[in-house]
Amino acid sequence: MLDAATHIAAGGDIVWITLDSLRHDVAVAAHAAGQTPNLAALLGPDGWQRRHSPGSFTLPAHQAFLTGFLPDPPGAFRPPRMFAGSFAGAVGVRPGTFVFEEPSLPGALAARGYRTACFGGVGFFSGRGAFGRIIPDLFGEWYWSPATGPQSSISTAALADTVCAWYADLATDRPVFALINVATTHTPTHLHLPDARRDTVASQAAALAYSDQELGRVLAALRRPTLLVICSDHGDCFGEDGYHGHGVAHPHVWTVPYWEGILP
């Protein structure tokens, strides 16, 4: 567990990139095949960690993340937590845990002088309708367009354009917390595999490889020091055991890739 409390007290940036719906096995195979060189430069030889998500689809997973419940190592009993809202019965708090009284992590960081923003991605970030505003309303700023949504074949490029322009415009040393939701790995991923007609493990891998090309620009734009988390919010089923999609209790849905580190 990283020492988030010290990092925040020092005014360091925090960036959280969620690769929406990305399965752990797809991420691991793409890493081993050399299809994600920009992510590999961060992951190193150990690659992705295997973790369990607290949610089976985007909204509950991100609501859990943004109250301090990150994906946990499988089998871990009360693992140490990087962030934790303060409430009776809270577990996993250790030295280095950032503990807050506010109802959300973005709100807690804003109260400590952070500029907070979310970018992308799937419909729960769109600001459209009540459910499309739940996550964006937690942040001081939010940026979404159809071009950054899952139906766009250029979604990660459009997302990277938006994030890089935002970083280029930062006028002060005020610390930032940015949540970046990559919609490209969410269905329909067959947009990224020539001649594909349905979503498969192979089409999600192709979507991830395309996203990696564009995420290189995002990673290069980040200021230092940055506490960086990259993970999936949940996985997807492509017919295994008769299941398709997510929102179900299946190992391919709750097992997610995860990485954390501080960019020096």
Three-class SS of residue 85?
strand
Report pLDDT digits (tens) over 34-63.
Answer: 999 999 999 988 899 999 999 999 999 999
- Given CATH 1.10.10.10, say whether it is the number of domain 4-263: no
Q: Which of 111, 77, 136, 85 is nearest to 8 (CA)?
A: 111
Share of the chain above pLDDT 90, in %: 90
Report pLDDT digits (tens) over 201-234.
Answer: 999 999 999 999 999 999 999 998 999 999 999 9
Q: What is the pLDDT, as a whole number, of residue 77?
A: 80
Does residue 89 surpass a pLDDT of 80?
Answer: no
Domain edges within the chain:
4-263
Does residue 88 surpass a pLDDT of 80?
Answer: no
Distance CA 158, CA 81 (A): 33
Indicate the residue type of 116. T
pLDDT band at 29 (very low <50, low <70, confident <90, very high): very high
Does residue 78 surpass a pLDDT of 90?
Answer: no
Torsion (CA) 33, 41, 186, 246 in degrees, nearest 10? 80
Does residue 91 surpass a pLDDT of 90?
Answer: no
Q: Where are the beta strands (DSSP E) in 92-145?
A: 98-100, 115-120, 141-143
**Residue 169 CB contacts under 8 Å (≥ 6 apart), including other chains:** none
